[in-house]
Amino acid sequence: MHILITGGGGFIGRKLAQRLVGDGVLRGRPIASVTLVDLAVPAPVPAPLPVSCLACDISDRTALGAIMARPFDVIFHLAAVVSGAAEADFDLGLRVNLFGTLNLYEAARAAGNAPVLVYASSAAVHGGEEPDEITDGVELNPQTSYGTQKAMGELLLSDMSRRGFLDGRGLRLPTVSIRPGKPNAAASSFMSSIFRETLQGQTANCPVPRDFEVWHTAPRTVVANLIHAATLDGAAFGFNRCLNLTGRTDTIGDMIAAMTRVAGPAAEARITWQSDPVIERIVRGWRARVRPEKAQRLGFVTDASFEDSVRWFLEDDILSPV
């Protein structure tokens, strides 16, 4: 079993790689190798099996094709230009999120082995005139370039799976919180920084009010669900290979209260509350209430509480940083 992770230098890619090499098996087969690909060479992942860390811009079709000259059995496609950056630079988002994704699909097709391909889509494909609560089968209506590019990737994934070129399954990820590392250009970045930074003694700004609702999930849970997606029979997804992933709906105030119950009041005191109209316009275009019945039927897991997310961040990323 040979596995490729694009975006392998990011925090989800690294956590996924660590989990895979720790498990040692996927889809009932021993893992022979893991390859991590990102714009810069990903940091090494200690493992009892070969882990290759390579630099590659997925929008460079030739470079990506060279990496995929040896077929992979399972591909996790996590590489992307995040929401705020894709909105600020349309051409960059289009080049990476759409054409880079198409390059990956075409390389998987050319390999000739119809690999399992797990595509990290986003809840940002929803918005606009859709209902306040998203159910399975609701027409996609993204209100950002990022969401639009992700929706295009979904349609291509289902069509290329239908034709037998690859065995795709796409997961519309909720906001992942608490993200380790440094703030990034995602519009949702504050949904981690107001916990990540303040738990480590720094200040962080919240640009939306306390009653703003968030559809979210924890890094541990995302990794578990990515792996679960790879283990399922592709036919279980039906004609549409993409689904709304499981998550929680909480207000920012609820999440801060959960942090306080776990870690005490000092972190909350470090949060500032300065509005940001640009960020607020983007995130208010997303849906915070999702009823993911298909994902639940297929066995994807949901966080029990945001307290768990805080505890896991303290255990995984402060006490034992990635």
What is the per-residue pLDDT for 282?
A: 86
pLDDT (tens digit per residue) in 13-24: 999 999 999 999
The per-residue pLDDT for 319 is 62
146 is catalytic: yes
Catalytic residue among 76, 105, 119, 146: 146
Q: Supply the pTM of this predicted model.
A: 0.94
pLDDT at 313: 96
Under-50 pLDDT residues of the chain: 321-322
Show the 3-state SS of the chain: CEEEEECCCCHHHHHHHHHHHHHCEECCEECCEEEEEECCCCCCCCCCCCEEEEECCCCCHHHHHHHCCCCCCEEEECCCCCHHHHHHCHHHHHHHHHHHHHHHHHHHHHHCCCCEEEEEEEHHHCCCCCCCEEECCCCCCCCCHHHHHHHHHHHHHHHHHHCCCCEEEEEEECEECCCCCCCCCCCCCHHHHHHHCHHHCCCEECCCCCCCEEEEECHHHHHHHHHHHHHCCHHHHCCCCEEECCCEEEEHHHHHHHHHHHHCCCCHHHEECCCCHHHHHHHCCCCCEEECHHHHHCCCCCCCCHHHHHHHHHHHHHCCCC
pLDDT digits (tens, 9 = 90+) for 195-231: 999 999 999 999 999 999 999 999 999 999 999 999 9
Q: What is the pLDDT of residues 121-133, one digit of tens each?
A: 999 999 999 898 9
pLDDT score recorded for residue 322: 45
